[in-house]
Structure 1
Amino acid sequence: MREALGIDKSVDILDHVHSLPEKDQEEAHQKLQAIERKAMVEMQPRQGLTELMDFLPNHEFSPIITREFTPPKPHPAGILEIAKSWDIPPQNLVMVGDSVDDMISGHRAGAATVLIKSEVNSHLNHVPETDYVISRLDDLIHVLESGFDAKPKSTH
């Protein structure tokens, strides 16, 4: 995505798009949507996805915060919005993700963080904002059913 927009890793994609003149924002959004459509067609599901999807319908997860929410991660506003809508403290939430922005936003909100480990993000096991590491999506079922109390990093 950064390559398509001509920006380097130090620049947040959405911040860049929002900084563009209005006519250029539409073109940038179209580029991003084309990349996302291509990725969805070529995407291979992660291990454990079917089991996690079978588990989730019995549990309500709403609202879901998307990339359109501002301010974007790593700002904690999205997680804080969920805590507010559920009327619970953010310390009772778990941020699940696969990026450093996911871990930082969860940590800044006061939530526990769960890293879904992959070949490209294993270095995030060691960032201080990562509380718990799972290898497969269905490992999250155990975390959700058992509750989560921030504890030393472990791989489930």
Structure 2
Amino acid sequence: SLASSTSAAAVGADVSSRPVLRGVVFDMDGTLTVPNLDFAAMYRRCGVDPQLDILAELATRPPAQAQAAYAVIEEMEQQGRDTLQLMPGAREVAVWLAAHQIPTALVTRNTRRTVDVLDRLLQTAAPTLTLDVVISRDDERYPPKPDPAALYAIAERWQTSPTNLVMVGDSPANDIGFGRAANAVTALLDTGRRYHEQQTSESHATP
């Protein structure tokens, strides 16, 4: 669960060498919220190869074609907002972090509109929790994960080192790779046991 994954990251290292926890950075889909978008259908409807980055690919398309695809994405994302739910364990983690006054951040390729729905869910679950930093795809200052620029910016804002942050996500490549690139502690949430232990051992290594 999310609660056990985050706890494991906090207690997994030897006490004498363990970084001091100064903040937790979360992914959104599959981490804080239950995945509810059919990305295969989205790529198919937009006519984009599933191996490509859909947003980067659409940026190269003729305006009319790109606009039609963006309309498909917005339609599907609105359906996702309408049915958004917290992941099992997310409420407990939110309550614990709020009680211990640990700063939290979110780095996601969702839009700010979708993040606002998450905010409302979190406020219902843990009224005292506030996402201190939110970096969504509407924020063009930072490249998408796994480029670590956003994580460095969060650490700078919190006046700490990335080594004192925990990055929690469900993707070895994007989330764990993102954390490792900045030497943050990482926690992989693999609720579906999709990843082979050998595959994640390198990505999941903590400093």
1:106 aligned to 164, 179, 185, which one?
Answer: 179
Q: Does 2:203 match 1:129?
A: yes
Cα distance 1:103–1:63, how it changes in 2: closer, same or farther (>3 A)? same
How many Å apart are 1:114 and its aligned residue? 1.0
| Residue identity (%) | 30
Aligned-residue Cα RMSD (Å) equals 2.5
The superposition leaves residues 89-115 of structure 1 with CA deviations (integer Å, 9 ceiling, x where unpaired) of: 222221111123111111112212111
- Specify the SS of the correspondent of 1:96: strand
Aligned equivalent of 1:64, options 109, 134, 139: 134
Quote the offset at 1:123 in angstroms: 0.8
Q: C-alpha distance in 1, partners of 2:68/2:152?
A: 31
Give the superposition deviation at 1:24.
Answer: 4.3
TM-score with structure 1 setting the length: 0.68
Secondary structure, aligned partner of 2:168: strand
Find out whether 1:50 has 2:123 as its counterpart.
no
Aligned positions of 1:3-152 closer than 5 A: 3-58=44-99, 59=101, 60-61=103-104, 62-69=132-139, 70-99=142-171, 100-119=173-192, 122-123=194-195, 125=197, 126-127=199-200, 128-131=202-205, 150=206
Q: Distance in 1 between matches of 2:70 and 2:45?
A: 11
The separation in 2 between residues aligned to 1:22 and 1:82, in whole angstroms, is: 34
**For residues 29 and 110 of structure 1, what CA distance do their matches in structure 2 show?**
35
Query: CA distance change for structure 1 residues 123 and 115 in 2, over 3 Å: closer, same or farther?
Result: same
Deviation at 1:12, TM superposition (A): 1.2
Is the deviation greater in 39-48 or in 65-74?
39-48
Aligned length, in residue pairs: 132
Q: Note closer, same or farther for the CA distance 1:44–1:87 as it changes in structure 2 (3 Å cut).
A: closer
Cα gap change, 1:17 to 1:55, in 2 (>3 Å): farther
Q: Which runs of 5+ in 2 are unaligned?
A: 1-41, 105-131
Deviation at 1:11, TM superposition (A): 0.7
Tell which has more relative contact order, 1 or 2 (C-alpha 8 A, sep 6+): 2
* 1:14 and 1:72 in contact (8 A); partners too: no
Structure 1 residue runs of 5 or longer lacking an equivalent are 132-149, 152-156
Cα-to-partner distance string for 1:16-71 (whole Å, 9 max, x where unaligned): 23333445444433322221221233345321122223334443322122133431
Structure 1 residue 72, shift from structure 2 partner: 0.9
Letter in 2 for 1:72: P
Structure-1 separation of matches of 2:145 and 2:196: 16
